[in-house]
Structure 1
């Protein structure tokens, strides 16, 4: 009769095993969103290219200004003066070139660009009229700016190139017209109300600008000499 008990217990064991087994749930795979279609890159317009070049130049100027920031001075110990017993090793006076040491060896491209840009402005031309008696060309300022940009590629020779550039510039502008050639220098202080008190003579009927300038020049010369 034992086989009856064993056969009856078999279904109960199968149910317990089924209850103990973990229920498997279907796994859900995440769905990926389709990527948006890539649009071909459009060519830049001339205005965008100019803006890109300007931003690159300004970034280069900022890097140069940071690199040329003033550093802490280095104090060197000066040698003592030679005594009577020791021979002097100083350089002869004929070999000293003090003027050569006055020219700078560094140059800021940002300052050169600002000077050229200011020269083309209304204020820059008014300053030129006051100093030189007429409007001036800004080509020299732009030449200095492009020279500064080119000299960056000569790392070992840049200091000598900049010094030579300023030497040539000094030889060109050392002797030239000044404001005293345009305006008369004042030797005494003017009294209150005397400045800009003289009226400007009008053109005579049929008189040209050149004829008026000649007549006005003669009038000023006569006033300075005391004949008028």
Structure 2
């Protein structure tokens, strides 16, 4: 299965995000994005990331989302929603098209033949029931 090109991936993500954020009120607010940034820096999340991945979490993109939100304040709510959706769609498209642990697996179009192998019927030997 081949991956779509970047433009197609962005269009697919935009279509999905327009369903996810049907109105301007549904997009995350700047305070919410700032809270997300702060929670990234909390000691609990720092330790969890060190344990799971061996490194501190990267919080800079969360701050960039917050700054981007602040830059949209002078726009009309629908324009702000469109700008947010475009930004997130591009982010998701980059993520989808980048290398992933899933790249080593090929998606099967049909199940393997004769899998799982049928269990043969063994004759039941009568014996004492305990």
Give the TM-score normalised by structure 2. 0.51
1:159 to 73, 81, 84: 81
Q: 1:128 to 1:177 in 2, by over 3 A?
A: farther
The higher radius of gyration belongs to 1
Q: Deviations over 1:42-84 (max 9, x none)?
A: xxxxxxxxxxxxxxxxxxxxxxxxxxxxxxxxxxxxxxxxxxx
Q: Which has the higher contact order (CA 8 A, sep 6+)?
A: 2
Q: Does structure 1 residue 123 correspond to structure 2 residue 44?
A: yes
Q: 1:120 to 1:172 in 2, by over 3 A?
A: farther
The within-5 A match list for 1:90-101 is: 99-101=13-15
Moved over 6 A (4+): none
- Contact kept? 2:30, 2:69, Cα under 8 Å: yes
User: Per residue, is there more helix in 1 or in 2?
Assistant: 2
**Alignment length (residue pairs):** 82
- Contact kept? 1:113, 1:142, Cα under 8 Å: yes
C-alpha displacement at 1:151, in angstroms? Answer: 1.1
- Contact kept? 1:118, 1:124, Cα under 8 Å: yes
1:169 corresponds in structure 2 to 91
- Contact kept? 1:116, 1:138, Cα under 8 Å: yes
